[in-house]
Amino acid sequence: MRRADPALWLLRAVVALFILFMLAPILVVVALSFTSAGYVVFPLPGLSLRWFARMLDYAPFLQGLRVSLQVALGATLLSVLLGVPASLALARSHHPAALAAMTFLLSPLSMPMIVFGFAALFFLSRIGLGLSLPALLVAHGCVCLPYVVRVTAAAYRGLPPALEEAAEVLGASRAAVLRHVVLPLLRPAIAAGSLFSFLVSFDNLPLSFFFGSPGTNTLPVVMLSYVEQQFDPAIAAISTAQLAVAVLLLVLADRFYGLGRLVGQEGGG
Amino acid sequence: MRRLLPLAPALLFLAGFFVLPMLDIVGRSITAADGSLTLARYALLFGDAFYLRAMAETLALSAGVTLLCVLAGYPVAYYLVRHAGRWRGVILFTLVAPLLTSIIMRTFGWQVLFARRGPVNLLLEGLGLVEAPIRFTGSLGIAIAALVHVLLPFMVLSITPVLQSIDRRLEEAAAILGAGRFRAFLEVTLPLSWEGILTGCILVFMVANGSFVTLLLLGGGLQTLPLLIYQQFNTTRDFGMVSAMSTVLLLLALACLALQLRLVRKGG
């Protein structure tokens, strides 16, 4: 029915450019990670895994990876323990105080991270935490909390209250309702929130940067100082590995919890 | 009371470890070395040409990046909602994939693309457009492209839901009344999607104001507030001045947040 429509073709061209623009910088790094050359050159002179080997040889990377994993797992656990009960308490209330509390819990999303990093360093040093793993955990926890709260609250709002009422009518205590009805139904949401929280913490640079010390340098901090000093494909290898793990986590989470449904809810048509 | 109990730990945690540190910075910015109150740092920030320029460059860069994101993001959101069909999955993937990559990977990607022997120079030479590789390093254009790359998905994802909620019969009505397609878009669709555009703009502007990794690695010759915070923290270690600049960024972010909330309330 539709004839060749110049406006639509223009729109298509814009979208094609958009896809190229968004994917090119990522794909080029993935390609570079398999180069056999010792520097950045295209076309790749040959394929090799030497940069992945280099990544495993370079002690600061591994040390950074360990710190990042500890911080991301710890901050995520902290956010779930704090965030899930708070989301359940707030999600269904329309009271102005509840809305204000929700805004407050989500507010770290809007604050410039470099400012919070600087502020947290001073404050936590003052109360004796300084450049330590617990200090990093607490700072990351503040940033991860909103992700868990947002996803959990949205999912809880979507649960029909009738389910809980039915359990209560049948004589279940509030604790039993939470344990046997609400939490099992919210498990995919909590898993999704935890995954976001983990990825956000793992990739956080502006915050971790201020807590730099040999024992508290996270992977992004180590990578930043590496790229500031040299321009070679080692960063490509480590970025590609990180991307692969993130994709794997997402696929696994989708398999076990059906994140697709959760994320796709707003998709519509 | 029973409602407050599950809420208290999260609120106390943020109050203690998020709000207090920020207030501490504000306090530090107005406290002189001898402990007395002072506005000297703000006098310097708003009186010295160097700092005024840094603030102007921060705002100008964020505004420019926001504008580019609207111009590029609106057509993509429009296509995604109205025409995507089987391309929908590809576009959604394109929007989400960057969120799985580290900020360093993306920044590094721009360095690689425009490296002396990178793909762009290869292409330009292959097409015979240049004879020797161009040195792109440190160009402002690449830094801006990299910032847009980070922020564009947020813009598209802000506009999409609003476009989706527009009743298409309104456009049909405009067409029946004799409006051309372009005029119907300009006078019906665009005004109705205003809210999504504004939401996206505030979000992008807010995040752009605080970003520094991109400019730090790609250069571009700008001195923005986050860069100055980073540099002065590392070199001069004048923490009073760093606190004052941080406070300015903080107030900017709070203003954006307030605007965002007003918009949400109005939208109901």
Is there a single domain that holds both residue B136 and residue B155? Answer: yes
Q: What is the share, in percent, of chain B residues with pLDDT greater than 90?
A: 53
Q: pLDDT (tens digit, 9 = 90+) per residue, A217-226?
A: 999 999 998 9
The answer to whether the complex's ipTM is over 0.85 is yes
Residue A9 tokens read as 């073709």
- Domain assignment present for A264: no
Question: What's residue B219's pLDDT?
Answer: 84
Examine the pLDDT at A157 and tell me if it is beyond 80: yes
- Domain assignment present for A266: no
Is there a single domain that holds both residue B106 and residue B129? Answer: yes
Is there a single domain that holds both residue B208 and residue B243? Answer: yes
Q: Compute the average pLDDT of residues B149-172.
A: 88
DSSP characters over B12-63: HHHIIIIIHHHHHHHHHHTB-TTS-B--HHHHHHHH-HHHHHHHHHHHHHHH
CA contacts within 13 A on the Cβ side of A18: 31
- Check which CATH number belongs to the domain holding B171 and give it: 1.10.3720.10
What's CA A162's distance to the chain center, in Å?
33
Is there a single domain that holds both residue B133 and residue B169? Answer: yes
- Domain assignment present for A147: yes
Is there a single domain that holds both residue B66 and residue B173? Answer: yes
Burial A90-108 (b: 16+ CB within 10 A, else e): bbeeeeeebeebbebbbbb
Of A26, A112, A209, the CB nearest to B209: A112
Examine the pLDDT at B1 and tell me if it is beyond 70: no
Q: Are A92 and A165 in contact (CB under 8 A)?
A: no
Is there a single domain that holds both residue B137 and residue B178? Answer: yes
> Which residues from A are below 8 Å from B243, CB to CB?
118
Examine the pLDDT at A19 and tell me if it is beyond 70: yes
- Domain assignment present for A265: no
- Domain assignment present for A102: yes
- Domain assignment present for A239: yes
Is there a single domain that holds both residue B263 and residue B239? Answer: yes
How many structural domains are present in chain B?
A: 2
By residue range, what is the domain housing residue A214? 12-259
> Which residues from A are below 8 Å from B79, CB to CB?
11-12, 14-15
Share of chain B residues as helix, strand and coil, in percent rounded to the nearest 5 = 80, 0, 20
Q: Do the chains contact at A89 and B4, CB–CB below 8 Å? A: yes
Distance from CA of A14 to the nearest CA of B (A): 7
Q: Do the chains contact at B28 and A228, CB–CB below 8 Å? A: no
DSSP characters over A125-163: HHTT--SSHHHHHHHHHHHHHHHHHHHHHHHHHHS-HHH
- Domain assignment present for A163: yes
Is there a single domain that holds both residue B147 and residue B224? Answer: yes
- Domain assignment present for B44: no
Examine the pLDDT at A20 and tell me if it is beyond 90: yes
Distance from CA of B93 to the nearest CA of A (A): 10
By residue range, what is the domain housing residue B244? 49-267
Residue B87 contacts A where some CB pair is shorter than 8 Å: yes
Distance from CA of B6 to the nearest CA of A (A): 5
Is there a single domain that holds both residue B20 and residue B55? Answer: no
Question: What's residue B250's pLDDT?
Answer: 95
- Domain assignment present for B245: yes
Residue B235 tokens read as 């070199």
How many structural domains are present in chain A?
A: 1
Q: pLDDT (tens digit, 9 = 90+) per residue, B110-156?
A: 999 999 889 999 999 888 888 888 888 888 999 999 999 999 999 99
What's the CA gap between B42 and B40, in Å, rounded? 5
> Which residues from A are below 8 Å from B1, CB to CB?
none
Residue B17 contacts A where some CB pair is shorter than 8 Å: yes
Q: pLDDT (tens digit, 9 = 90+) per residue, B182-203?
A: 888 888 888 888 888 999 999 9
- Check which CATH number belongs to the domain holding A158 and give it: 1.10.3720.10
